[in-house]
Structure 1
Amino acid sequence: MHATTKGHIIQLDGIRFIAVALVLIDHFYSAVNIIPYGKLGVTIFFVLSGFLISRILLKSKETYEPQPEGFKKYIRKFLIRRTIRIFPIYYLLLIVLFILNVPPVREKFAWLALYGTNIYIAVYQTWLGSSDHLWSLAVEEQVYLFFPFLIFFVSRKNLIPWLAVMGAASVLLRFYFYFSGKDWSVSYVTMPACLDSFALGGLMAWLQLYKKEVFLKLFDKTWPVVLALIGWILMQYWNKSYDNIHNVVDVVIDRLVSSIFSFFLIGRAVTGYGGAMKYFLENPISVYLGRISYGIYLYHNFIYNHYHSGPNHPTVRLLHKIYRNIPSLEGSLTFEACLFSLLTIAVASLSWHFFEKPINSLKDRYA
């Protein structure tokens, strides 16, 4: 495992880059894309989040459980560190969007500010324009409301059965939503229907901390990752065999298969890929883009959204200006995707260096 002195696993930054790149490819090629790269990218983030949060909480529990008022210290540390990392950039963005009156932020500000985007989408079965993607951040925040309690108050031995029940219940809930005729978005965005991803991440953390030999047997080879990827590809062919795009495979099975692939992809990165994959995940560009992936994800839909960026949107106006000067580029989806990606990375970089990184340094006080 290639990690820093603070325990930061280097290759996981590369995994974050893969996840956010899949989202960008999906969203910036929306006009022609038929493969759900974005859904896979979000699932990778969910499994990775489940792993990292469970790992942090399990280690913190070991420290604070024996102490007087241990739970109070444990939960305080978790909440402060999560708040420092997640909230500042999120609420800064909402304030800027509110001031600029970017729809539908003013109209739905309470839902967005309270991390209820996914609840709004599920209840009203409608999306929120350029703010659509914030549903996944809402899911993560809702998981953080109960996960610390689960890990602290459930014994080490009983945690795995709890995670297994949680994951199985999540899949069954998606089956229920599908066969009861709910819109596909309900299964996609509701937090309980996403928990198989977080449960697998929690299982990975538990194995790494308490069953190291089992962890190494599972993740010290790359062939399970390849096999799981083949399974994901075969699932896409199965999905395409249905006339209805939001069929049982898409609505119920996809997240489970994607989570299993993510489980092996991430687990192998924890033990450390070799060869070309090691170079890809550890090269400075991948590591940097992975490090700023939260900002990339947060900002990208406002830089450009295929369905909601109208002719007066600054990026669209810039694009038309380029086309007037270089007509041969007009209609090139690759050029457009590269431009949108570069603009997103530029904004995320400014955000990281001048806002996020200085604030994140405060977390060291609660290490």
Structure 2
Amino acid sequence: MRVELRPIRLDDERRIRGFDGLRAIAFIFVFISHKFHQGTYGSLGGDGVMLFFALSGLLITRILARTRVAIEAGETTTLAGLGRFYLRRSARIFPIYYATIGFFLIASLFVHFDGFEGGAPLAMLLYATNIYVITTGHWVGHFNHFWTLAIEEQFYLLFAPLLLFTPSKAARHICVAFVVLGLVTQASLEWAGVSAKVVGLNPMTGFGYLALGGLAGLNLDRRVPGWLVSTPAQTAAALALLIVPLTVLKDEIVWRIYAPAIAVTAALLVLQIAENQASRFVAFLETRPLRSLGRISYGCYIFHEFVHFYDMEAVVRKFGITFATPDWISAPIELVATVGLATVSWRFFERPIMAWAHQVTQKVAPVAA
């Protein structure tokens, strides 16, 4: 498999237009599924997770494949490339995640939080929330969404060394192996009749979905038919991800059975966007509201389950203020508060740390003698 064979510095990473907007849509899907608890919207959150997985899989695989080519060209060493990758990933995902857990660890000394007891905090600190839920059989309250972050981190720990310590031509085979293993794992668990928790939170099924995005990333250098990446094709894939979970797959159990097809659609969409940057759909994704929301979507994802209108009402009542509000107002207010928190976090906390990590790793690592 030929991957970026032209001479390239490790920091030669172009921004893919439309991806921030797609992250925004993925977060909106998840937000709706969590804030509107009717069964109609439950499967929409699953589609959002698949989009996040496809985006992460594509970008991470491209970065690792580029680094492996640099290693083979003698521009860096394997260990230096691995260290560079983990430093940048850590700077992106660790600070806000551990700051959030740290806040709840301190607050839990005074207030009880459902799901934040027993071994759950330790599991979260170790990025093992999914394993904790599988082994105990219990969800962890408003911390449930951490399972997706756990699977991504577990994927990074296993996938990065595999790609960097093997020839670049093996990258595609590794991704295919993960996809096949994920499908086999899901089919076996379904056949064994295990619980939905075990099937949905199993690392290997999640790895398969991430690897689908990786396959999309590795095929960006190949010529694809114009009709497949056209504006109508991109729009059709996006509408499928929106409409299908609201109609034929609105039952979450049924959605889980067809989850691989949803993952393929999500991977196809990110491939279409990356291949055709001039489409009208990409222009829509690049509109300022979507692009801005996508940029802070990681913080939004972490915070949104902890922002509740009833808590805001309780605080206001302590000051002797009471007011009547319609039921529909709570979700929009929670969205605004979540975006506000994520914006502050991005501007004053996340972005400075990311800039530091980029500066530290900016120069190509020296080649071993």
TM value normalised by structure 2? 0.84
What whole-Å deviation, never above 9, does each CA across 1:17-49 have from its counterpart, x for those lacking one?
A: 010111111111114644511111011001110
Residue 330 (1) aligns with residue 363 (2)? no
Q: How many residues align?
A: 344
Residues 192-341 of structure 1: pairs in structure 2 closer than 5 A: 192-208=204-220, 210-211=221-222, 213-214=223-224, 218-223=228-233, 226=236, 229-230=239-240, 233=243, 237-239=247-249, 245=251, 247=253, 249-253=254-258, 255-270=259-274, 271-272=276-277, 274-275=279-280, 277-304=281-308, 314-317=311-314, 327=324, 329-331=325-327, 333=328, 335-341=329-335
**Per the alignment, do residues 233 and 192 of structure 1 end up closer, same or farther by CA in structure 2, a change over 3 Å counting?**
same
Of 5, 30, 33, the residue aligned with 2:37 is 30
Structure 2 Cα separation of the partners of residues 260 and 185 of structure 1: 22
Identity of aligned residues (%): 27
Structure 1 Cα separation of the partners of residues 306 and 66 of structure 2: 37
Residue 344 (1) aligns with residue 338 (2)? yes
Structure 1 Cα separation of the partners of residues 30 and 244 of structure 2: 20
SS in 1 for 2:138: coil
Any gaps of 5 or more consecutive residues in structure 1?
Answer: none
Query: Greater CA deviation, 154-163 or 218-227?
Result: 218-227
Shift of 1:325: 5.6
Residue 122 (1) aligns with residue 118 (2)? no
Q: Which residue of 2 aligns with 1:100?
A: 107
Structure 2 Cα separation of the partners of residues 358 and 224 of structure 1: 34
Higher helix share: 1
Amino acid at match of 2:151: V
**CA root-mean-square deviation:** 2.8
Structure 2 Cα separation of the partners of residues 235 and 16 of structure 1: 18
**Per the alignment, do residues 225 and 151 of structure 1 end up closer, same or farther by CA in structure 2, a change over 3 Å counting?**
farther
Alpha-carbon contact 1:228-1:264 (below 8 Å) kept: no
TM value normalised by structure 1? 0.85
